[in-house]
Amino acid sequence: MMIANHVIPQQVSADFLREASDLIQQIDDEILTLGQNFSPQKAHTLMRLAHTLKGAAAIVGLDAINTTAQTLENAFKALCVPETSLTSVVEGLILDGYVCLKLLLSAQLTKASVDEDRVLDRMTPIVSQLQDNLGDHFGQNSYLPSSAQLGVDVTQSIFEDGVTEYLDELATALTVPEPQVLTALLKTQAEVFMGLAESLRLPGFGRIAQATLTALQQHPNQVVKIAQMALVDYRAGQADVLQGDRTQGGAPSKLLKDLGDSRPPQPISWFSTLWQWLNQPISLPGHPKTNASQPPSKTVGPTALTVERQPLNAVFQHCYHDLERLINQGRKPVLVEFKDSDVLIEQTIAPTLYKTLSYLVCHAFIHGIEPSPIRRRRNKSAVGKIQLAARQAGPCLVICVWDDGCGPSPEHVQQRIQPYIDTMQGASTVVHRAGKGTCFTLKIPA
C-alpha cells in the first residue's frame, strides 16, 4: 500500500513569498503568449525568471519547486539556441510543467497541503518528452545565447540583475549571521555561480566560487569570515564584469585562497609590530603625536561591580552595517575584519564609542581605500581591507581601526573624534604610512 506524501508547507520567509509572487506574475505575462510572439529574447527572459525562482527555492529548501523550475529553465535555455524551434508539442509540455510549478507555489502562498510526490511524478513524463523534442540542447549547461543573437548584452544584464540579487541576499544574511544559514547559502550560491561562470566563460568568477567551497570544507567553523571574504570577491568580480570584462570575472583574493589552502596569512609587518606597542604606555617618547587625557583611576568596590556591560562586538556590528551601505553604493570591494571583539564594555559609553568608530571606518572607506583599478596599478590586492580590533591592556581597553588605503594625512580626523575621546576619558593615537595604510588607536578605561 502506498501512502501519498501530502506535505504541509513549511514556514517560508516572507521575502521568498514576495519574490515568488512577483516572479510568477512576470512568467505569466510572458508564457501565456509564448507561441504568439516567440523569439530567442523571450526564451531568454523566461529562462532568467525560472533560474531566479529556482535559486530562491533552493535557498529556503523547497526542493520540489527547485526541481520543477530547473526543468522549465532547461527548456527555455534550449529554446535560446537559434536552430531550436518552438513547436506546438514543446509549447504544450512547457505549459504543463508550468501548471505543476504553480501548483507547488500556490500551496506555499496559501499554506495549503500538497502531494509533492504526485506532482513530481506528473513532471517525469514531461521531462522525458521535452528531452525527446529538444534533443541535446535540453539541459545543456554550457550554452547561453550571444549578445548578437539576442540584441542585448546578456552578461551585463545577468550581472546587473541576477547576480546582484544573489549578492544582496548574502549581504542580508551577514547582517545577523547564523552559521548554518550562511553555510547553506554559500554552497547554493557557489554552485549557481560556477554554472554561470561556465556558461558565460568567466573562469575567474568560477574560481571565486570554488575557493569559497574549498575554504568552507577546510574551515567550517569560520563560515562568517568566509562569507565576508566571498561577498567582497564576488562584488569585485561583478564590478569588473559591469565595467566590460568578458574574459575572467574577477579572481579569488589571496585571503580567500590562503584560507582554503590552510596557509597562515602573511602579516603586514608594520601593523604586526604595532600590536606590541599597544601594550605600552601611550605617552612613550618617539611615537606619533598623541591627544591624551589621563583616565582617572577607578575605585573597585560594590558600585563598580554593578555597572552594566555589553559585548563590544555589538558596536562593531553596527559599524559593519554602516560600512556595508557604503560598499553597496560605492562599488569598492572591501574586506571588513573583526579581531578579539568579545570583550565587554560599559553600556554608558557604547553610543559614544559607536559614533567614534563609525566615523573612522566610514572615513577609511571613503577617503582611504582606493578603487580596484588604482590598487592594482599600485601592486595591491584589488580588495581593500579595514580591520576593527580590540584587546585588554591593563586598566584600559585598546581599540584599533586600521585600513590599507593611501588616504590623506589623518590629523584632521583625529581632531574630529577627539571630543568623543574626551567624553570617554580616553586617549587617541594615529599611525600613518603614506601609500600603505592608517591605524587609529583608542585607549579608554576598561
C-alpha cell at 226: 568566509
Pair (28, 166) in one structural domain: no
Long-range contacts of 164-169 (CB under 8 A, 24+ apart): 164/238, 165/52, 166/55, 166/192, 166/193, 167/231, 167/234, 167/235, 167/238, 168/328, 169/59
Pair (285, 427) in one structural domain: yes
CA angle at 11 for the pair 8 and 12, rounded to the nearest 5°? 115
- Give the range of the structural domain holding residue 209, as residue numbers without chain letter: 155-261
Q: Which of 117, 152, 187 is the last residue of a domain?
A: 152
Number of structural domains, the chain? 3
Residue 1 lies in a domain: no
Beta bridge partners of 387: 337, 402
Distance CA 109, CA 243 (A): 39
Distance of CA 250 to the CA centre of its chain: 15
pLDDT of residue 152: 59
Alpha-carbon Rg for the chain, nearest whole angstrom, is 27
Beta strands 384-393 and 334-339 are: parallel
Residue 54 lies in a domain: yes
Distance of CA 133 to the CA centre of its chain: 39
422 close to 359: Cβ distance less than 8 angstroms:
no
Long-range contacts of 418-424 (CB under 8 A, 24+ apart): 418/291, 420/352, 420/353, 420/355, 420/356, 421/291, 421/293, 421/356, 422/293, 423/352, 424/349, 424/352, 424/353, 424/356
pLDDT of residue 271: 46
Residue 400 lies in a domain: yes
Pair (141, 196) in one structural domain: no
Pair (284, 416) in one structural domain: yes
pLDDT of residue 288: 36
Pair (242, 316) in one structural domain: no
Residue 167 lies in a domain: yes
pLDDT of residue 250: 94
pLDDT of residue 293: 37
Decide: residue 164, CB within 10 A, 0-12 exposed, 13-18 middle, 19+ buried. middle
Residue 78 lies in a domain: yes
Pair (20, 40) in one structural domain: yes
Pair (169, 238) in one structural domain: yes
Beta bridge partners of 292: 427
Residue 257 lies in a domain: yes
Ranges of H-type helices in 111-222: 116-134, 147-150, 154-160, 162-175, 179-200, 203-218
The one-letter amino acid code at 184 reads A
354 close to 319: Cβ distance less than 8 angstroms:
yes
User: What is the CATH classification number for the domain harbouring 359?
Assistant: 3.30.565.10
Distance CA 425, CA 429 (A): 14
Q: Which of 123, 152, 181 is the last residue of a domain?
A: 152
CA angle at 246 for the pair 229 and 161, rounded to the nearest 5°? 65
Q: Hey, how many other C-beta atoms are within 10 angstroms of the C-beta on 226?
A: 26
Q: Which stretches of 43-153 are assigned E, i.e. beta strand? A: 114-115
pLDDT of residue 110: 82
Residue 380 lies in a domain: yes
* Nearest alpha-carbon partner for 167 in 125, 209, 199: 209
Q: Which DSSP state fits 272?
A: H
Pair (207, 139) in one structural domain: no
Q: Which of 214, 230, 261 is the last residue of a domain?
A: 261
Pair (439, 301) in one structural domain: yes
Mean pLDDT for back-to-back runs of 10 residues, the chain (446 residues): 39 70 85 80 84 79 87 87 82 91 87 86 89 78 53 75 85 87 87 81 92 91 93 93 92 89 48 44 33 38 56 85 74 77 81 90 86 80 85 85 82 85 89 84 86
Q: Considering the entire predicted model, what is its pTM?
A: 0.41
User: What is the CATH classification number for the domain harbouring 138?
Assistant: 1.20.120.160
pLDDT of residue 4: 39
pLDDT of residue 8: 39
What does the chain come to in residues?
446
Residue 424 lies in a domain: yes
Q: Provide the angle, in degrees to the nearest 10, between the axes of the packed helices 63-79 and 116-134.
A: 20
Pair (113, 15) in one structural domain: yes
Pair (292, 386) in one structural domain: yes
Beta strands 344-346 and 396-403 are: unpaired
pLDDT of residue 286: 32
Pair (190, 302) in one structural domain: no
Sequence-ordered list of residues with C-beta below 8 angstroms from that of 367, at least 6 positions apart, any chain: 405, 407, 408
Beta bridge partners of 441: 400, 429
Q: Which DSSP state fits 40?
A: H
